[in-house]
A and B are shown apart, each in its own frame.
Chain A
């Protein structure tokens, strides 16, 4: 059975259809990258996976169960920003996951439990290369380091799915490269299942094993909200090179991506 299954999934707000006709199966270990024009429902889709938006029609199953209506420890997330807690140090930010589990009442552990949580957290922090910044607060970290911290934090729970909403969108190109190799390494080592939204087609091809392009297939100029977006391309990425004519095909459909011009 697939990890994630959607059958005729739809999402609308009142009469405004955002997503329609989503049908897919995603197996454990896949790395799905999501691209599409701004406002085409990629983020809404991620929110449905996360549980902060509900399914309007159709069904979405995680491990055969309908997806829960609220965020939970089985789905980790890294946002573009505000992903880490400003009032906790690097260590505190990663430890908190373990502490919340150990101590239901206080959410803080002491003694042996605390040492255990600390050791576990330090392993995660070292994986993302922040071993020398344990005591620092997020405001003392650069944007890239904050995103590393957010990834370490999300991986503490060993989530079934990791959701990344343009995690590197605000980073400089050089740092972005480092982050891409980091996420690839973690995905391989820990056999994660990842959904990642990106504006950067090149990034989408470099990282993913599967590329989804979100776009509207039907369009009514009189009522732009009548039809929603769906997955128009579901491309397996094996050779890690985009098809020659893809940028042209995307451009023909009016899909704008920031990095279109950087494609070969």
Chain B
């Protein structure tokens, strides 16, 4: 018998093993749901999968009588727009500040303590300030995402810039590079794939702030919907919405991973990771 650490599943077996926990969870849910529905057919807490599918289908196809919009798509577009704009702004700020902070000691000395302090402020605590400053429109929600994500990106990129071997910066100078050229031709291209990587990690946080902001003040959006129907205990809306958000988050993550692999093959070879 081999040691446990040396036993690896076969390729097909890995799929099955990965699927197993999901099946188990689904079965537990079904059992509980059936038990409750048998007692009370109008139970709202653990709706049957068919009910959820029907509700989700309705949300995705039927126009809202009042607004004339299809609720699911209106929510999805509104949420994704906020999320993507917020993350894009963060990425842009994160990359530029990360590069100058990592590459220019004079700037780092000034900005680095500020970034550290700002990154320690819990963004949710300043949400009221954002609502007061920007009103309850889109601006406040996007600002919350940007404030929540940017410091993390800056610190990650700055750290990576500092970990680049000194040899490379010296080499660039012996090839006649100016400071600007070192930043744009040595640091920028090497930090861009790192930015994609860090953004993937930050997406979870971005979703958190998005849902929170939508829950508090909004007229549409995935988070808004979930918190709205909570009043009616509409688990048949909430559960499919959570699954939908999870799927969107997964797709975004995979999209970034795919772009990174395609555009920066040297980065993934160097890191020894292909995920």
A241 in the interface (beta carbon within 8 A): no
The chain A residue with its CB closest to the CB of B185 is A107
Stretch in B91-99, B164-172, B202-210 touching the partner:
B164-172
Which of B168, B174, B265, B267 is A154 in contact with, Cβ under 8 Å? B174
Of the candidates A72, A105, A106, A140, the one whose C-beta lies within 8 Å of that of B174 is A72
Tell me, yes or no, whether B270 is within 8 Å of chain A by CB. yes
Chain B proximity of A101: nearest CB distance (Å): 6
Asked if B174 and A157 make an inter-chain contact with CB atoms under 8 angstroms apart, the answer reads yes
Is B137 part of the contact surface with A, judged by Cβ < 8 Å? Answer: no
Number of interface residues of A (CB under 8 A): 37
B270 touches A139 (CB 8 A): yes
Question: Taking the complex as formed, is B176 at the interface, i.e. its CB lies under 8 A from any CB of chain A?
Answer: yes
Chain A neighbourhood of B171, CB < 8 A: 77, 79, 83-85, 150, 153
User: Which B residues, 147 to 175, have Cβ-Cβ distances below 8 Å to chain A?
Assistant: 165-168, 170-175
Do residues A104 and B174 form an inter-chain contact, with CB atoms below 8 A? no
Q: Is the CB of B184 within 8 A of A83?
A: no
In the assembled complex, the CB of B124 is this many whole angstroms from the nearest CB of chain A, namely 38
- A100 pairs with B185, CB closer than 8 A: yes
Interface string of B95-122 (1 = CB under 8 A from A): 0000000000000000000000000000
* B173, A71: Cβ atoms closer than 8 Å: yes
Q: A86-B266, A157-B176 are in contact. Are A106 and B184 (CB under 8 A)?
A: yes
In the complex the two chains form, is A85's CB within 8 Å of B265's CB? no
Question: Is B175 a contact partner of A52 (Cβ separation < 8 A)?
Answer: no
How far does the Cβ of B167 sit from chain A's closest Cβ, in whole Å?
A: 4
Is B266 a contact partner of A139 (Cβ separation < 8 A)? yes
A52 to B170, CA, bound (A): 8
- A138 to B269, alpha carbons, bound, how many Å? 10
**B residues 169-214 touching A (CB-CB < 8 Å):** 170-178, 180-181, 184-186, 189-190
Q: 8 Å CB contacts to B: which residues of A94-112?
A: 96-97, 100-101, 104-108
1/0 contact trace for B132-157 toward A, CB 8 Å?
Answer: 00000000000000000000000000
A87 within 8 Å of B (CB atoms): yes
Contacting pair A72 B266 (CB below 8 A): no
Nearest opposing residue in chain A for B178, CB measure: A104
Give the complex CA separation of A101 and B175 in angstroms: 9
Docked Cα-Cα span, A137 to B269, in Å, equals 10
- Cβ-closest 6 pairs across A and B: A82-B165, A71-B173, A73-B176, A82-B167, A97-B175, A107-B185
